[in-house]
Amino acid sequence: MLYAILCYHDEAVVGGWSKDEDDAVMAKLAVVHGKLAQQGRLGPVARLLPTTAATTLRKDEPSVVLDGPFAETKEQLLGFYVVEAENLDGALEIAQDLGRANPGGAYEIRPIGVFHGAFQP
């Protein structure tokens, strides 16, 4: 079975870490990542940019692009994609494509800051 482990924290706190504090946490995580990777049990790992960098596509008819993260609480997180695009417009185009195939709900498009994994763009 594959599991997704979704990371939650207060971004004001994490965003307030100094570079040294941040580096220290990342170094400790890298040890755990290394262990898992060696066992062949680590898939892609992504660190997302802050929610202020997010854009949301409401997949209603017609679809609406909104600045900011997905803020509703009545829908649940059901899946995610990692895609490569030139810029936000490119990413939104992909999202629109996906949305036409599966309308309803929303996609939150969030740039990825750090990415490790078997992704070959």
Residues in the chain: 121
The rounded distance, in Å, linking the Cα atoms of 52 and 40 is 34
Binding other proteins by CB under 8 A: which of 12, 77, 101, 118?
12
- Does residue 57 belong to the site contacting other proteins (CB under 8 A)? no
Binding other proteins by CB under 8 A: which of 38, 76, 87, 120?
87
Q: φ, ψ for residue 56 (rounded to 5)?
A: -115, 135
Shortest separation between residue 60's beta carbon and other proteins, angstroms:
18
- Does residue 19 belong to the site contacting other proteins (CB under 8 A)? yes
Q: Residues touching other proteins: how many (CB under 8 A)?
A: 23
Give the type of residue at 71.
A
Neighbours of 39 (CB within 10 A): 8
Shortest separation between residue 96's beta carbon and other proteins, angstroms:
14
